[in-house]
Copies of this chain bind each other. A is one copy, B any other.
C-alpha cells in the first residue's frame, strides 16, 4: 500500500479544544491558516477528556463542528485517536492503566505516556473510543488520515506486563532450559527453575546483568507497543474505517524498534526537532537528513513529516530562534528526502502548560506581522510551487545498515567502552561520506532485503540478527560491495559471543579474523595510513586488530604496539568486494575511501560536479522526471552553480553562488 494525497500536506497540530472559551479564535485561525497556504491539521491528539468527559459518555459534536468548519475552508484533517494521554477519571477508576516503573512503583496520574500497553481495561477503553471515532468521522470528507495515538514510547513493569513478558518468553523459547541456555544464566548462578521466576530488569532494585534478558525485555516492550498499535488500528477497521492509518515516530526513541512498528501502519509519519544553530549547521543537517532516510527506509516509500517547529523549541536546553531562511531550508530538506508533507507542532501557541513557549505558526500575539508567521507563509507558497513532485520516489542504490536491536545490544553490553561506543556516530559517518558524493541512500535495518543495492555499509554490526550474515554473504557473492567496520559479528541474537572467531560466520567473506579490540580514552588517538599514498588520518575510541587470511591491506595503523598492522582491508569474494574498516577513523577518511569505492562500484551520482562542503544534493523521481534538490546549509554564501545536463531550474535561483540556507530544485528527464 502506498499512501498518496492529492497535494503536499501543509499545516500541523491544532488544538481548538483549548480555545473553546474564545469563540473568535477559530475564525481568526482559519483566516490566518488559509493565508499561509495551510491545507491540513491534526486534531484531537490530547482531546480524550473533552471527547469522553465521563466513562462511556462521548461528546463528539464540538469536534464535528470544527472538522466541518475546516473542511468548508479547504483544510483537511488528520484525526487522532486520543490514547496518548488518558483522562483523569480513567486513571482514578482503573488504576491498572497507570504504569509501574522499573523500581516497581506505580506512577501517579500526570504528564503523558504513562499508560500500560498491556492493561486489558486500557485496551478496551481505547478500542471503544476508536470505534466510536471511526463510525462518526471516517466517512467525513475532511478526514484524510488516522493519526494513531502520539509518540508511543516507554515501558511498564506492572504485574500484567510481567505476565505478558513471561508468556512472550515462553512463546519464543518453549522450555526454561532453553531460556537458561540462550541467556547464559549460569553466569552468577542465575539459572531459572521455572518461567514464573522471570522478571523484567530493574537497575535500581534487581537484575540488570543478564544481557540476554535485558535485550529480550527491550524486544518485548517494542513488541507490546506495536501490538497495542495494531489493536488500535483493528478497532478502527472493525468499525468500518477505510482511511489510511499512521502513527508519529521520533528518531531517538529507544523503546520501540520502528522497523517493527512500521509494519503496523500504512504510511510513516515522524516528528523532527533538529538543533539548528547549535554548532555547525552542516552537521545538524547530516543528523537531520539521516533521520529522514531512516524513516523513508522503513517502507522505501514517501513518508510524512508530522511535527516540526516553526520557531524555537522550548523544551531543549537552549531555545534558539531560527535564523531567516532556516525554516524553509529545513522544510525542503524533508521534501528532498522523500516527505509528502511539512507539518508543524503547532498551529497556535497554547496559553499555558509545558509547551506554552514552543514555536507555533500563530503566536500568542495573534497577528500577521510576525516574522515566524511570515516564514511559514513562505513555506506554504513553496510547497504549492513544488506540487508536481508530490509522491515522487527516492531511488537509492546505496544503503547503510542502522539497526535498533543492534543498538540495544551495544548499549546493554559491558565493554569495550562503557562511556560511549559511538554507534550512531559511526552510522552517520558512513551516511555522510556517501551523501557528500551526491547519491541517494536508504537507511535500513538487518531484516531488510539487500537486493536493490550496489553498495552497502554495515558499521558496527555487533550483533548478527538471524539471516543477516547469510544475506551479506549472498550480497557480496552476487557482486555487491560491502563495507563492514570494527566491532562487527561479535554476538548472536541473544548476545552470546560467537565461538571460533569473528566476524561470526563471515571470516571467509571478509578474508580475516578480528582478534582484539583496543579502546582509547577520550582525547587519545592513533592514525591510519595508506599503503598507496601518503594519506594519513586520525582515529579514536576503538581500534580493532585483525589477522589477515585472504584479504589485502590498504591502510595500516601508524602508532602504538599494533603500528603497521591492518587498518583497512579488502577481500574479493565471489563476484563482489568486502572492505573492513578497523578503526573509528575521522570523517575525512570515510569521505576519501567511500568516494573511491563508489567510483569503482560504478554508482551513479546525481550531479557529476564536485560538491562543496555543506551543500547537499538529493533527488526524487516521478514518471520520467527527476527532481534534483541542491541545498546550501552553510550560514555563508557558497560559490556553486549546480548543473544537470538537460535540467532546468524549477525552484530557487542558480546564480554564481548559493545564498545561505537556500534551495535550488532542478527538473530533468531520467
What is the total number of copies of this protein in its complex?
Answer: 3
Assess whether A206 is interfacial by the CB under 8 Å rule.
Answer: yes
Q: Which residue of chain B has the shortest Cβ distance to A196 in the bound complex?
A: B92
A191 within 8 A of B: yes
Which residues of A185-223 are within 8 A (CB) of B? 185-193, 197, 199, 201-202, 205-212
- Do B352 and A496 have beta carbons less than 8 Å apart? yes
Let me know if A206 and B110 touch, CB within 8 A.
yes
Complex Cα–Cα for A210 and B87 (A):
14
> Is A66 close to B, CB under 8 A?
no
**Are the C-beta atoms of A104 and B108 separated by less than 8 Å?**
yes
Bound-state CA distance A415–B498 (Å) is 49
| Nearest-CB residue, chain B, relative to A17 | B186
Q: For A516, what are the chain B residues with a Cβ–Cβ distance below 8 Å? A: 311-312, 321, 371-372
Q: A82 an interface residue at 8 Å Cβ cutoff?
A: yes
Complex partner residue of A88 from B181, B191, B211, B501, CB under 8 angstroms: B191
A502 CB to nearest B CB, Å: 8
Q: Which residues of chain B are within 8 angstroms of A50 by Cβ–Cβ distance?
A: 186, 189, 191
Q: Pick the contact of A92 from B107, B197, B355 — CB < 8 Å?
A: B197
A479 contacts the other chain (CB 8 A): no
CB atoms of B189 and A318 under 8 A apart: no
A47 near B189: Cβ-Cβ < 8 Å: yes
Whether B350 lies near A189 (C-beta < 8 A) is: no
In the complex, which of the residues B108, B513, B515 contacts A205, with contact meaning CB atoms closer than 8 Å? B108
A81 to B556, CA, bound (A): 49
Q: What is the chain B residue whose CB lies nearest that of A501?
A: B365
What residues of B have a CB within 8 angstroms of the CB of A278 in the complex? 521
A109-B207, A364-B497 known; A354 vs B88 contact (CB < 8 Å): no
Query: What is the 8 Å Cβ interface bit string for chain A, positions 86-122, against chain B (1 contact, 0 not)?
Result: 1111001000000001011111111110000000000
The answer to whether B89 touches A187 (Cβ under 8 A) is: no
Whether A358 touches B415, Cβ cut-off 8 Å, given contacts A88-B191, A109-B197, A497-B364, is yes
- Pick from B82, B92, B311: contact of A189, CB under 8 Å: B82
- The listed residue (B88, B318, B324, B496) touching A561 by CB distance below 8 A is B324
Can you spell out 25 A-B residue pairs with CB atoms less than 8 angstroms apart?
Answer: A15-B187, A17-B186, A46-B187, A49-B186, A53-B191, A85-B188, A88-B197, A103-B105, A110-B209, A184-B351, A210-B352, A210-B353, A210-B354, A211-B353, A312-B518, A319-B416, A321-B516, A321-B518, A352-B494, A356-B413, A356-B495, A364-B499, A366-B499, A371-B516, A372-B516
